[in-house]
Amino acid sequence: MHANQRFCPEPGTESVCAETMDLSLATCDLMGMMPTRPHASPFMGGARVIETSPLLIVDDEPEYLDEILEALAFEGVSAISASNGIDAVQTLRRCPDIRLVVTDIRMPDMDGIALMEAARQEFSDRDLQFIVVTGHAAKADIERAKAAGVIDCLTKPLSMDALQRALKALPV
């Protein structure tokens, strides 16, 4: 389990929002199950999408995933994690409030581009947006991501400044 992972209820069941992150950084609005933030974050800017929904962070490197989640928690941003594309699709099924996915491109079984395509097909009624992150900024990967409709392409190691800029640039 990760420092900023949020458990989503199974569809049709009642549950309270259970956050494992420090409650001084985020608390749950038990009625709407949406995280509230006690302080302003530099990530907020004009990106209202992350004010109303948690981010889904997808990466197959557990240590890297933990670092991103910890940095986001420090900024007061609610995030849910998945360790691969298949888990990410299952998380999207359980958590209909997710609107933004930040995913690694190169992962085993289902890469980030295949995740985008599968999610857009299965959740066509949702306004899902994607940011991809890659440690191998191969031109072909970037072109595939752009063709799949990615909002932004960032490089590893992920700079929180670069992620902040990408989040602020999201359409409202």
Report helix, strand or coil for 117: helix
Cβ neighbours, 10 Å, residue 132: 28
**What DSSP element (H or E) covers 155?**
strand 152-155
Q: What is the dihedral of CA 64, 168, 117, 97, to 10 degrees?
A: 90
Confidence (pTM)? 0.73
Per-residue pLDDT, 48: 56
Per-residue pLDDT, 131: 95
Give per-residue pLDDT as tens, 159-169.
888 988 888 88
Give per-residue pLDDT as tens, 47-72.
455 667 899 999 999 999 999 999 88
